[in-house]
A and B are shown apart, each in its own frame.
Chain A
Amino acid sequence: MSWLDHRTGIETAIRNFLYEEIPASSGWHQVFGSIAVFLFLVQAFTGALLAFNYAPTPGDAYNSLRYILTEVTGGHLIRGLHHWGASMLIVVVVLHMTQVFLYGAYKKPREATWMVGVILLMLTMAYGLTGYLLPWDNRAYWGTVVATQIATRIPLAGTYMSRLLGGDNAIGVVTFARFYGLHVLLLPPATAFLIATHIYLVRKHGVAPAPGDEAKPKKKFYPQQAFKDTAAIFIAFVVLFVMAVAVRVPLERLADPTDTTYIPRPDWYFLFLFQTLKFFDGPLEVVGSVVLPGLAVLALMLTPFVDRGQVMRVTRRTVAIGVAVLALLGWTGLTVAAVATTPKPDNVVAIDYGAPTDWIGLSPQELAGIGYFRKENCASCHTAGTGKQRIGPDLANVPIKKSAAWMIEHFKHPAAMVPGSSMPAILLSDAQLNSLAAFLLKLTPANAEALVNAPDFAVEAGLLYQSKNCGGCHKVNGVGMTIGPPLNGLARRRTKSWVVQHFANPEALSPGSFMPPYRFSTREMDNLVAYLFTLPD
Chain B
Amino acid sequence: MPAVDHSSAPSEVTRRKFYVGLIYGLWSVIAAALSIPAAIYLLFPPRLRKAPEWVEAGDISKLAPRDPVEMVFRQNRVDGWKIQSEKTTAWVVKLSGTQLAAFGPQCTHLGCAYHWDEGRNFFVCPCHSSVFNIDGKVVSGPAPRPLDRYETKVENGKLLLGPLRESKGNA
Contacts and interface: CB of A to CB of B under 8 A. Distances in A.
B135 to A, nearest CB: 30
A82 to B, nearest CB: 12
Given A71-B46, A223-B23, A226-B19, A234 B41 contact: no
Interface stretch (A48-56, A93-101, A424-432, A504-512): A48-56
Interface in B1-30: 16, 19-20, 22-23, 26-27, 29-30
Contact of B46 (A63, A72, A237): A72
B136 to A, nearest CB: 29
Contacts of B81: 55, 60, 63-64, 66-67, 71
A278 B20 CA distance: 53
Interface stretch (A73-81, A365-373, A404-412): A73-81
Interface in A194-244: 223-224, 226-227, 230-231, 233-234, 237, 241
A329 interface: no
Contacts of A360: none
A71 B50 CA distance: 11
A226 B33 contact: no
A520 to B, nearest CB: 36
Contacts of A26: none
A78 B39 CA distance: 11
Contacts of B82: 63
Given A67-B80, A230-B23, A72 B50 contact: no
A223 B19 contact: yes
A446 interface: yes
Contacts of A55: 81
A301 interface: no
A78 B22 contact: no
Contacts of A66: 81
A42 interface: yes
Nearest to B17: A223
A469 to B, nearest CB: 31
Contacts of A64: 80-81
B19 A53 contact: no
A51 B82 CA distance: 16
Given A66-B81, A78-B38, A71 B49 contact: yes
Interface residues of B, number: 27
Given A45-B34, A74-B41, A78-B38, A446 B80 contact: no
A446 B48 contact: yes
Contacts of A472: none
Interface in A444-461: 444-446
Given A234-B26, A234-B29, A227 B19 contact: yes
B44 A73 contact: yes
B12 to A, nearest CB: 11
A49 B90 CA distance: 37
Contacts of A477: none
Nearest to B24: A230
B40 A73 contact: yes
Nearest to A449: B47
Given A71-B49, A73-B47, A227 B22 contact: yes
B38 A45 contact: yes
A14 to B, nearest CB: 13
B37 A446 contact: no
A55 B33 CA distance: 26
A234 B50 CA distance: 41
A457 B118 CA distance: 63
A78 B22 CA distance: 26
Between B37, B38, B40, the greatest number of chain A beta carbons within 10 A of the residue's beta carbon is seen for B37
A357 interface: no
A241 B48 CA distance: 27
A445 B51 CA distance: 7
A55 B16 CA distance: 49
A422 B68 CA distance: 52
A70 interface: yes
A4 to B, nearest CB: 20
B51 A231 contact: no
Contacts of B46: 67, 71-73
Given A223-B20, A445-B51, A42 B34 contact: yes
B119 to A, nearest CB: 46
B41 A78 contact: yes
B113 to A, nearest CB: 29
Contact of A230 (B27, B41, B42): B27
B23 A74 contact: no
Interface string A22-56: 00000000000000000000100100010011010
A71 B78 CA distance: 12
Contact of B37 (A74, A230, A445): A74
A64 to B, nearest CB: 5
Nearest to A78: B41
B34 to A, nearest CB: 7
B51 A77 contact: no
A361 to B, nearest CB: 13
A237 B50 contact: no
Contacts of A234: 26, 29-30
A42 B37 CA distance: 13
A484 to B, nearest CB: 32
A67 B83 CA distance: 12
A49 B35 CA distance: 11
A55 B51 CA distance: 25
Contacts of A233: 26, 30
Given A49-B42, A72-B41, A223-B20, 5 more contacts: A66-B81, A67-B80, A226-B19, A227-B19, A231-B22
Interface of B: 16, 19-20, 22-23, 26-27, 29-30, 33-34, 37-38, 40-42, 44-51, 80-82
10 contacts: A45-B34, A67-B46, A72-B47, A74-B37, A74-B40, A74-B44, A77-B41, A224-B19, A444-B51, A446-B47
3 closest residue pairs by CB, A with B: A67-B81, A73-B44, A223-B19
